[in-house]
Amino acid sequence: MKIIAYGVRDDELPYFKEWEQENPEVEVTIEKRLLDDSTVSEAEGCNGVVAYQQKPYTKSVLDKLGQFGIKALSLRNVGVDNVDSNAVKANEIKVTNVPAYSPQAIAEFTVTELMRLLRRTKKFDQKQAAGDLTWAPDQADELNKMTVGVFATGRIGRAAINIYRGFGAKVIAYDIYHNPELEKEGIYVDTPDELYAQSDVLSIHAPAVKENEHMLNDDAFAKMKDGVWILNPARGTLIDTDALIRALDSGKVAGAALDVYEDEVGIFNKDFGSFDKIPDERLKNLMQRENVLVTPHIAFYTKTAVQNMVKFSMSANKDLIEKGTSDKLVEFK
Ligand code: COI
């Protein structure tokens, strides 16, 4: 059995080696480049493909995999928004993802960033770097006095809820699907508008499906409490960035922690050498604000998560090849 893994980063290599040692019967080809028209021919002769990239898995690439007789594509991440679902179905390719490589990794990071916002650590760090060790005027806010609105209660949202509760916050949530346990606890509000109206903090954990595109826009911000805090560790397209900038300018939004950005592809996880050389003025506008924390999509980036992403995706690909199915199969509508 032959599996080719695309887009492999150096920091993933030890985990690929471990998996290969545990599965000596599988021949693994490591390809550092991403899966696209220029690299897809490397997959010819393989039984399965494992990949991670934010760049789209296009129809032409998926058609080529189909022509090579490859029916198994396993993503090393959770989001499948960049996969052409029609082409997957037309080529009868089965796709797996890794839905739970570490929901805690993302939840812990989200709450870390919220605490940094509430305690104004960015401002204090900047002041201290300039030799200023004074306190005023940045009195902080306490999470235990706040209502946190969690948008979407999948694995990550639920992990975040547990941590918010540990801090003593009141938690409410919105989701079209209700988790039975949370339902019993009466955590759900009926509409996004109710969540916006009641939350001091909005913690967004929704997938990037079409209906959610720019769900946080001018209209949504207008319905929120004055001085709301926004956390987005999910997908950049969920927020209309221009609307967020307007809401920050007006003070409607007190601050934001953004681990994702709608134009992040080609920018995040790259070293530009200096702040000035980052090729996105709007992103730099956000990065320069003392009440905005921008991080380059690192909420997931823990040892546990990266190891699980490699191992779970490789095993899922092997299952697809051997058994034609996997417990991580993605159902495209
Ligand atoms: C995902 O798993 O979909 C993520 O957002 C993390 C990715 C950057 C590896």
- CA 53 to ligand 1 center in whole angstroms: 9
SS3 category, 195:
helix
Cβ of 5 closer than 6 Å to ligand 1, yes or no, is: no
Going 167 to 171 to 173 to 179, the CA torsion angle's sign is positive
Q: In angstroms, how far is the first alpha carbon of the chain from the final one? A: 30
Cβ of 78 closer than 6 Å to ligand 1, yes or no, is: yes
Nearest by Cα to 290 from 107, 129, 109: 129
Q: What is the pLDDT of residue 316?
A: 98
Cβ of 94 closer than 6 Å to ligand 1, yes or no, is: no
**Index of the ligand 1 atom closest to the CA of residue 97:** 2
Measure the CA–CA gap between 256 and 60, rounded to whole angstroms: 38
SS3 category, 254:
strand
Nearest by Cα to 19 from 300, 329, 306: 306
| E strands in 46-196 | 48-51, 72-75, 94-96, 147-151, 170-174
Cβ of 297 closer than 6 Å to ligand 1, yes or no, is: yes
Cβ of 155 closer than 6 Å to ligand 1, yes or no, is: no
- CA 311 to ligand 1 center in whole angstroms: 15
Going 167 to 225 to 176 to 245, the CA torsion angle's sign is negative
SS3 category, 172:
strand
Cβ of 77 closer than 6 Å to ligand 1, yes or no, is: yes
- Residues β-bridged to residue 216: 239
SS3 category, 162:
helix
Catalytic residues: 235, 264, 297
Measure the CA–CA gap between 137 and 134, rounded to whole angstroms: 9
Q: What is the pLDDT of residue 197?
A: 98
- CA 77 to ligand 1 center in whole angstroms: 5
Q: Which helix (H) or strand (E) holds 3?
A: strand 2-6
Tokens matching residue 239: 């927020």
Fold type of domain 2-101+303-323: Rossmann fold (3.40.50)
| E strands in 139-208 | 147-151, 170-174, 201-204
Q: What is the pLDDT of residue 23?
A: 98
User: CA 197, 199, 200 angle in degrees (round to 5)?
Assistant: 125
Q: What is the pLDDT of residue 129?
A: 98
Query: Distance of alpha carbon 99 from its chain centroid, rounded?
Result: 11
- Residues β-bridged to residue 202: 149, 230
Q: What is the pLDDT of residue 287?
A: 98
**In the CATH scheme, what is the code of domain 103-294?**
3.40.50.720
- CA 151 to ligand 1 center in whole angstroms: 18
- CA 260 to ligand 1 center in whole angstroms: 10
Cβ of 312 closer than 6 Å to ligand 1, yes or no, is: no
Sheet with 292-294, edge to edge strand ranges: 170-174, 147-151, 201-204, 228-232, 253-258, 292-294
Eight-state DSSP code of residue 329: B
Q: What is the ipTM of this complex?
A: 0.94
Which residue in the block uniquely carries the two structure tokens 């393989």?
46
Going 49 to 55 to 56 to 62, the CA torsion angle's sign is negative
Q: What is the pLDDT of residue 333?
A: 81
Measure the CA–CA gap between 284 and 323, rounded to whole angstroms: 48
Tokens matching residue 322: 């051997």
**Index of the ligand 1 atom closest to the CA of residue 77:** 2
Residue nearest to ligand 1 atom 7, measured at CA: 77
CA distances from 309 to 130, 281, 301, 304 (A): 41, 33, 10, 9
Measure the CA–CA gap between 107 and 105, rounded to whole angstroms: 6
Q: Where are the domains of the chain?
A: 2-101+303-323, 103-294
- pLDDT tens-digit map of 21-36: 999 999 999 999 999 9
Residues of the chain predicted below pLDDT 70: none
